[in-house]
């Protein structure tokens, strides 16, 4: 069944799966939205130069941050409209008190089938309920982990993240492996003059650890200064640098994960490498399937656009029904742009950490 609803010409596509009805929502450009990234905090225990450039920060107050109940209610509304995958992110999501319980609740929202977590990994080996935090997260229902790793050199890691936490990252990765996570991805932001000479080592490390590695182009979020001609390294150039060492990489057009990465195979091995080229891949936004919820309750249809819609106000309004929330959610989908504005002299307003990566 296909129906067109409302002034925004919002289209619902309703199909019948084997076990249950699958509902998903499409925007005006054919993006099929089934993925919600939820930032559970704007706080972080690291200070990455490209994400949170200044040491002195203003954080959202406790009152401004969505509560567990509010996040669960909004997720449930999204799930009724076809959201089936969520990623819990931040800031550093593991700094939010009670995050394990929150994830457990999100996992039981009807319709939510997959939960990913983005983390810098440095807190995963912490004790939690008689085991490690990594074990608790797995028990709570996290299916897949994305861990940030820009350098294997302790000094470069410390300079990039503002913290000497490479040993903690390595402990966290080990804890995640011991907890039995089947899918651990390493996300590495490409920076000329910082980690371009390490790309091969990072690929080798990922192979040894059994992780999928993805290289991400710097995006002009947080401040215009995080991306300059001097420090930008495109995914195309990174691929050529790797090919110099590894031989020609073979494109894998049919291999997909949830997001916009394109994958290549390393010759004579079964290793794959992902590239996320928001700046240079002109097809980057075509398959976008996500919305982003900020820790202070704004729903954003696109990372690279200033559009955002206030759900905190709606969630706290005594008269807001679930149907009202769904209507608002659909309005956000209807306003999703065709593509991001990063290539268009984009002037960031909110820091990445306040949007959720
Ligand atoms: N703290 C968590 C982490 O480290 O994954 C979650 C939040 S972090 C904002 C999510 C991802 O966004 C990280 O992989 C980070 O490297 C990436 N990121 C942050 N700022 C970026 C920028 N300016 N350009 C590209 N990627 C960025």
pLDDT digits (tens, 9 = 90+) for 292-312: 999 999 999 888 787 888 999
Q: Where are the domains of the chain?
A: 2-355
Round to whole Å and give the CA distance between 41 and 99: 10
Does the beta carbon of 120 sit less than 6 angstroms from any atom of ligand 1?
A: yes
pLDDT band at 319 (very low <50, low <70, confident <90, very high): confident
- Per-residue pLDDT at 2: 35
Tell me the CA–centroid distance for residue 335 and ligand 1, in Å.
Answer: 25
- Per-residue pLDDT at 55: 54
- Per-residue pLDDT at 283: 81
**Would the pLDDT of 18 be above 50?**
no
Does the beta carbon of 219 sit less than 6 angstroms from any atom of ligand 1?
A: yes
pLDDT digits (tens, 9 = 90+) for 199-247: 999 999 999 999 999 999 998 876 666 778 889 999 999 999 999 999 9
- Per-residue pLDDT at 16: 37
Distances in Å between the Cα of 188 and the Cα atoms of 7, 44, 126 are 42, 18, 23
Tell me the CA–centroid distance for residue 88 and ligand 1, in Å.
Answer: 13
pLDDT digits (tens, 9 = 90+) for 155-192: 999 999 999 999 999 999 999 999 999 999 999 999 99
- Per-residue pLDDT at 226: 72
193: its two tokens: 């003059």
Round to whole Å and give the CA distance between 233 and 212: 20
Tell me which residue has tokens 């559970």.
40
- Per-residue pLDDT at 356: 64
**Would the pLDDT of 56 be above 60?**
no
**Would the pLDDT of 341 be above 80?**
no
Does the beta carbon of 161 sit less than 6 angstroms from any atom of ligand 1?
A: no
**Would the pLDDT of 252 be above 70?**
yes
CATH annotation of 2-355 = 3.20.20.70
Residues in CB range of 65: below 8 A, 6 or more apart: 41, 42, 295, 296, 297
- Per-residue pLDDT at 222: 64
Range name among 10-19, 57-66, 255-264 with the lowest pLDDT average: 10-19
β-pair type (298-300, 290-293):
antiparallel
What average pLDDT does this structure show over 244-260?
89
Round to whole Å and give the CA distance between 258 and 268: 26
The answer to whether the predicted template modeling score (pTM) of the entire model surpasses 0.85 is: yes
274: its two tokens: 């992902």
**Would the pLDDT of 12 be above 60?**
no
pLDDT band at 8 (very low <50, low <70, confident <90, very high): very low
Tell me the CA–centroid distance for residue 75 and ligand 1, in Å.
Answer: 22
Round to whole Å and give the CA distance between 349 and 258: 27
What average pLDDT does this structure show over 37-60?
83
The whole-chain average pLDDT of the chain stands at: 88
What average pLDDT does this structure show over 136-165?
97
Range name among 39-43, 85-89, 351-355 with the lowest pLDDT average: 351-355
Residue 329 CA, chain-centre distance (Å), reads 19
Strands across the sheet with 21-26, in order? 2-5, 10-16, 21-26, 32-33
Q: Whose CA is nearest to atom 20 of ligand 1?
A: 51
- Per-residue pLDDT at 116: 97
- Per-residue pLDDT at 4: 36
Q: What are phi and psi of 39, to 5 degrees?
A: -85, 120
Q: Whose CA is nearest to atom 14 of ligand 1?
A: 148
């Amino acid at each position: 069944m296909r129906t067109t609803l409302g002034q925004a010409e919002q289209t619902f596509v309703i199909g019948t799966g084997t076990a249950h009805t699958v509902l998903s929502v499409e925007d005006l450009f054919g993006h099929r939205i089934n993925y919600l990234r939820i930032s559970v905090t704007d706080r972080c225990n690291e200070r990455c130069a490209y994400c949170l450039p200044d040491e002195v920060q203003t954080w959202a107050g406790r009152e401004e941050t969505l509560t567990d109940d509010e996040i669960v209610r909004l997720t449930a509304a999204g799930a009724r409209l076809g959201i089936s995958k969520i990623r819990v992110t931040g800031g550093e999501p593991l700094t939010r008190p009670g995050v394990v319980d929150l994830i457990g609740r999100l996992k039981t929202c009807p319709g939510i089938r997959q939960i990913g977590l983005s983390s810098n990994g440095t807190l995963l080996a912490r004790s939690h309920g008689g085991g490690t935090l990594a074990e608790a997260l797995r028990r709570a229902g996290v299916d897949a982990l994305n861990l940030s790793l820009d350098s294997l050199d302790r000094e470069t890691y410390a300079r990039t993240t503002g913290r000497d936490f490479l040993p903690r990252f390595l402990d966290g990765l080990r804890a995640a492996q011991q907890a039995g996570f089947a899918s651990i991805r390493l996300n590495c932001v490409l920076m000329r003059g910082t980690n371009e000479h390490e790309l091969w080592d990072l690929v080798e490390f990922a192979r040894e650890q059994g992780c999928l590695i993805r290289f991400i182009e710097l995006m002009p979020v947080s401040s215009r200064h995080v991306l300059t001609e001097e420090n930008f390294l495109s995914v195309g150039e990174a691929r050529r640098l790797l090919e110099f060492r590894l031989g020609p990489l073979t494109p894998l057009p049919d291999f997909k994960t949830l997001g916009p990465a394109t994958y290549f195979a390393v010759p004579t091995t079964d290793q794959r490498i992902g590239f996320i080229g928001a700046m240079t891949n002109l097809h980057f936004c075509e398959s976008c399937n996500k919305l982003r919820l900020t820790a202070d309750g704004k729903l954003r249809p696109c990372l690279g656009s200033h559009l955002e819609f206030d759900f905190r106000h709606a969630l706290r309004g005594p008269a807001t029904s679930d149907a009202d929330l769904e209507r608002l959610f659909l309005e956000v989908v209807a306003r999703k742009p065709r593509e991001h504005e990063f290539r268009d002299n984009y002037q960031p307003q909110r820091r990445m950490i306040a949007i959720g990566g």
